[in-house]
Structure 1
Amino acid sequence: MTLREELERREEAILSPFAARSAASKGRARPEPPCAMRPAFQHDRDRILYSKAFRRLKHKTQVFLAPTGDHYRTRLTHTLEVAQIARTMARALALNEDLTEAVALGHDLGHTPFGHAGEAQLNQLLPGGFRHYEQSLRVVDLLEKDGRGLNLTHEVRMGILHHSKGKGGFLCCQGDDELTLEARLVRCADVMAYVAHDTDDAIRGGVIDAQELPPAVVRTLGRKLGDQIDTMVRDLVGQTRAAGGANPCMSPAVEEAIWRLREFLYARVYDNMEVHHDFIKASKIIRELWERLSEDDEQYQRHVGALPPADQRARRTADYVAGMSDHYALRIYEKIFLPRPWAVM
């Protein structure tokens, strides 16, 4: 018996009846020999962790544009915090931690530079639109490893594709019957992470004051970051266990508090012109980069590579721009559009 098979038997013995089993995975698009040491979902987790797209998250905006302060969150730290919250809940509910972590680490790989401002701009420019969750799947299926992709399991791929909930509900969404419970748990962890951590960053940045948080939110979740996360996690785990463990559940009071905090963040932070002003400039950078690379053969070949067929030009340009970090987008914009002093003496 290989170590992988031993670990798969351990999963069968200790995991919840509602947990996904590595040995029962629907498999990969391209069949490959299984690893002798790692079950399939653990192998996927490692592939995501070592991908280039994952490393680029460290310089992609979470809330504040290209922050210079050491303690503001980036897309990478947000991803790690989602993974930590999701694994805590998965362990408490006896779910598959490797699958949970793989989905969590991969869920935001398709995010553009400059956060949702970059996504909104590409959505306007690309025929057919641009959505970061679809781009995340495109990254792992096609763009990584020079076009070969990571060849992840079906369960991880679907968790990545369906992690986003926008402004809608997060406990139950259309199509959830096709998702693992682990994937649905990551969607909940994503909301928990960003409402608490974005609030923390907004307070640190002076955009809001802690005393301004809605009183109903403070009464239910607490005022401090640690209290908020602890309350949400404990509530989901407790309510889910009490309901039998088949679906993520929360008490009405805690779910309502999360909704109120999210609405508060949209009103006071995400749509705040003090924060949003620089994102208007960032949108201009994304638009002009996309337009120039879409239309200028010389610039495309210099920065992206060999010219693709005409019907693929827009899609590949979007892939390139979406993959940029904030810093890289600013550098490329400077190279293409800003004059440089003549250096010959």
Structure 2
Amino acid sequence: MLSLNLREEKEKEELVFLCPKATKSKFSRGRRIFEPECEVRTAFERDRDRIIHSKAFRRLKHKTQVFLAPKGDHYRTRLTHTLEVAQIARTIACALRLNVPLTEAIALGHDLGHTPFGHAGEEVLNEILEGGFRHYEQSLRVVDYLEKDGLGLNLTYEVRMGILKHSKGKGPISISSHEEVSLETQVVRFSDVIAYVNHDVDDAIRAGIIKTEDLPEIVLKELGKTHAQRIDTLIKSILWTTRSAEYKKICMEPKKLSALETLRNFLFEKVYFSPFVRREFDKAKRILYSLFEFYFKNFERIEYLVKAKELFPEEDETRLIADYLSGMTDRFALYEYFEHFIPKPWGFGHVEEVIAL
């Protein structure tokens, strides 16, 4: 049988077909722990596959995006958000001849550390942990340490840094001149914002919180009136502007960027901090505060925490509890709350039966 190293062929093709400023898998800075290379997949393809097969990735399907326990099957979850980000990022990376597997890996892993109940969970852990809590830092902690019972996924440097630097919160979407961030990471940063502002508009309209005509005039004029029009406009703006700028960085026409930032600010005011959403967030926060207090007082009784302390003896208990809480799905957090705080009627041994009453 002939020896055929498909990975090496792919690496050679990258050197020929990718744009000069794209990240080449052949020149990756490597992994935290050395591993022999795969004969079939490039380093970034392996990272993408490891993320998809991870437990943290599967849990995203039961984590809130914005609306907690919505009555309907079409509201976004953290998983559907991640898939939308990955698809937008892939489209941009393909068109700009960037490294698509690297872009996909960053996009698919960017929210692995997100908490249950959306940003309500992040607010709780940010208030509890000394030094605060940021989901992108937790995402890196997940892939470095928490997955595979403390072994981590051993991803490449480029994917790890992309996950860490994909988000600026409410800060500037474009990178500043002093930031050393790969073009693929910048693509994911833009794609994340493009995805969430548009699908959150869609979900907020579905929930009856806003109407299309409520959107700021600059958004309707510059980006379009429909979900598809806005995404199409923003992607095309990135492609044309970045190519015109000779790939110095991923960028967007000033008017389109201003409209995107206006839409993001509008959502914070009218949706994320609306009385309807905040009322449910406050309920979720009380659940997580109660769980944190219970785990802190009963640390030695919680099997996960005892095992975590064995794996990470140098970590304090607060940090390990934060890992536990941030990894929970919404429904598991609710299960734990019912288990530890809701009295069970006599004759019913399982919390599922209590919930069903």
TM-score by length of 1: 0.96
Rounded to whole Å, the distance in 2 between the matches of 1:258 and 1:307 is: 42
Choose the corresponding residue for 1:79, options 78, 82, 85: 82
Decide whether the 8 Å contact of 1:66 with 1:327 is kept in 2.
no
Amino acid aligned to 2:41: R
**For residue 325 of structure 2, what is the aligned residue in structure 1?**
321
Secondary structure (helix, strand or coil) at the match of 2:168 reads: coil
Secondary structure of residue in 2 paired with 1:100: helix
Q: What is the CA-CA distance between 1:307 and the residue it aligns to?
A: 7.4
Match of 1:24 among 22, 27, 37: 27
**Structure 2: how far apart are the matches of 1:241 and 1:100?**
18
Whole-Å Cα distance in 2 between the matches of residues 224 and 307 of structure 1?
Answer: 47
The total of aligned residue pairs comes to 343
| CA-to-aligned-CA distance 1:162-200 (integer Å, 9 cap, x gap) | 1111111111147532x2110111001001111111111
In structure 2, distance between residues paired with 1:307 and 1:89: 40
Matches within 5 A, 1:280-295: 280-295=282-297
C-alpha separation in 1, matches of 2:289 and 2:301: 15
Mapping of 1:234-249 within 5 angstroms? 234-249=236-251
1:66 Cα deviation from its structure 2 partner: 2.5
AA aligned to 1:165 is K
Counterpart for residue 188 of structure 2: 186
Contact kept in structure 2, 1:176 and 1:184, CA below 8 Å: no
SS in 2 for 1:70: coil
Deviation at 1:147, TM superposition (A): 0.4
User: Conserved in 2, the CA contact under 8 Å of 1:294 and 1:300?
Assistant: no
Paired position in structure 2 for 1:201: 203
Deviation at 1:234, TM superposition (A): 0.3
After superposition, the C-alpha distances for 1:247-273 in whole angstroms (9 at most, x for unaligned) are 111111100100111111011000001
Residue 276 of structure 1 and its aligned partner are, at CA, apart by 1.2
Match of 1:171 in 2: 174
Deviation per CA, 1:116-155: give whole Å up to 9, x if none.
1100111111222211111000000000001000000000
**Separation (CA, whole Å) in 2 of partners of 1:68 and 1:2:** 51
Q: 1:47 aligns with which of 46, 50, 58?
A: 50
Is 1:330 the counterpart of 2:334? The answer is: yes
Q: Please name the residue that 1:300 is paired with.
A: 302
Q: Secondary structure at the match of 1:187?
A: helix
CA distance in 1, matches of 2:300, 2:115: 24
Q: Which moved more, 1:214-223 or 1:168-177?
A: 168-177
Shift of 1:43: 0.4
Cα deviation code 1:225-282 (max 9, x no counterpart) = 0000000000001110111123111111100100111111011000001111011010
Identical positions, percent: 55
Distance 1:234 1:311, change over 3 A: closer
Alignment equivalent of 2:159, drawn from 156, 161, 183: 156
Unaligned runs of 5+ in 2: 349-357
2:38 match: secondary structure: coil
Corresponding position of 1:142? 145
**For structure 1, which runs of at least 5 residues remain unmatched after alignment?**
none
User: In structure 2, how many angstroms separate the alpha carbons of the residues matched to 1:24 and 1:311?
Assistant: 34
Find the residue that maps to 2:39 and give its secondary structure: coil
Show the counterpart of 2:271: 269
Distance in 2 (CA, whole Å) between partners of 1:157 and 1:66 is 31
Structure-2 separation of matches of 1:235 and 1:57: 30
8 Å Cα contact 2:300-2:306 kept in structure 1: no
Alignment of 1:6-155 (within 5 A): 6-155=9-158
Q: Does structure 1 conserve the Cα–Cα contact (< 8 Å) formed by 2:308 and 2:320? A: no
CA deviations 1:35-84 (Å, max 9, x no partner) are 11000000000000000000000010111012231100000000000000
Show the counterpart of 1:5: 8
Across the aligned residues of Structure 1 and Structure 2, the Cα RMSD in angstroms comes to: 1.5
- 1:299 positional shift: 3.9
